[in-house]
Structures are given as structure tokens and as C-alpha cells.
Amino acid sequence: MFYDGGYNLVTTNARDPRKVKVDTFIFHTFFMMTMFNQICCKITDDQGAWNILGALCNNPMFWFIWAFEMVLQHLFLYWSNYTKLGGKILGMSALSVSE
């Protein structure tokens, strides 16, 4: 049942390509906002302090995971850009840098 495109619950239906593009764009925007929100959270309780770098540089683990997530997200985008299967599973379409 899952191999029949019409009755597939996991992958996204063939939709209007423009619509998919917008959705991908929304997803990526939301993801980016989430990532920068993470950085914001680290410095919230230091408000008023001049040196926010101190609060940002105290934990290498944070930046490691942050970079990992960023790389993975862009790999997803890349993947859905160039392969049909990736695009289908992730429900994304090509996004150019300007978008």
C-alpha cells in the first residue's frame, strides 16, 4: 500500500510545485528562527551585560550540536534539491540561495 503513490501516508502527495516551494521555505525559515532562538536563550539572563561573548563561548558542546543541526538541515535541502526521492520524502523542493 505504501508503494502506491496514491495511497502513501508517509510521503507528500504530488502538489502544486509552487506550493511545495513555499512550504519548504516556511519550514526552513522556521528552522533558522529556532536555531537563532537557541542562541538568544543563552544570553537572556545576561541582559544588561556588556560582554555577551562570555555567555556564548562557555560551552563547546552547544556550538558542536548547533553546527551539526545546521549542516544536517542544509544537507536535507541539498538532498531534496537534487534527488527525486529525497524531495518526495522530505516534501521539499529546490530553494535557491536568494529565497
Partner 1 sequence: MIFVSLLAYNILHVTFSPDKKLFSNATLMDVSRIGILAICILIVAIPEGLPLAISIAMAFSISAMKKDNVLIKNIQSVQVCALLHEICVGKTGTLTVGKMHVASFQFLKQGMIHVNNYLDAGEQAYFNRDMKIGRTADANRRLKNLIKEAIVANTDVRIEVDEGDERTLQASYLANGQALECAMVDFLMENQEDVYNSFIQRNKLQQKIIQLPFDQVLKRKTVIREDATNDKMCRIYVKGAPEVVIQSCTATFDENHEQVPLSRADQQQILNMIGQGIAAKGQKPLTYAFKLIDKQELCEILENVNEDSDEYRQIFESQLFYLGTFGLDDPVRENIDVPINEIKYGTSSPDADQKEAVVVKMITGDHLDTAKAVAVASGIIREDEIDGEDVAMTGEDFRAKIGSYEVYWNEQRGMECIKFENDRVFKKLNKKVRVIARATPEDKFIMIRGIQQDGGLIAMAGDSIADMMALKTADVGLCMGSGCDVAKDNSDLIIMDNNFVSIQKSIKWGRAMFDNVRKFIQFQLTVNSVLVFVCFLSGLTLGNLPFNVIQMLWLNLVMDILAAISIGTDPYKKDAGGRISRKFRVFIPEMWRAILAQFVYQALTLIILLYLED
Cell, residue 79: 538532498
**Which DSSP symbol is given to 50?**
S
- Hey, which residues between 59 and 88 contact partner 1 (CB under 8 A)? 59, 61-62, 64-66, 68-69, 73, 76
**Runs of H (alpha helix) within 1-99:** 17-43, 52-56, 60-82, 84-90
**What is the rounded CA–CA span in Å between residue 52 and residue 17?**
43
- Hey, which residues between 19 and 58 contact partner 1 (CB under 8 A)? 19, 22-23, 25-27, 29-31, 33-34, 37-38, 40-42, 44-47, 55, 58
User: If you search the block for the grid coordinates 525559515, which residue do you land on?
Assistant: 29
**Which DSSP symbol is given to 2?**
T
Shortest reach from residue 69's CB to partner 1, in Å: 5
Binding site for partner 1 (CB under 8 A): 6-7, 9-10, 12, 19, 22-23, 25-27, 29-31, 33-34, 37-38, 40-42, 44-47, 55, 58-59, 61-62, 64-66, 68-69, 73, 76, 89-92
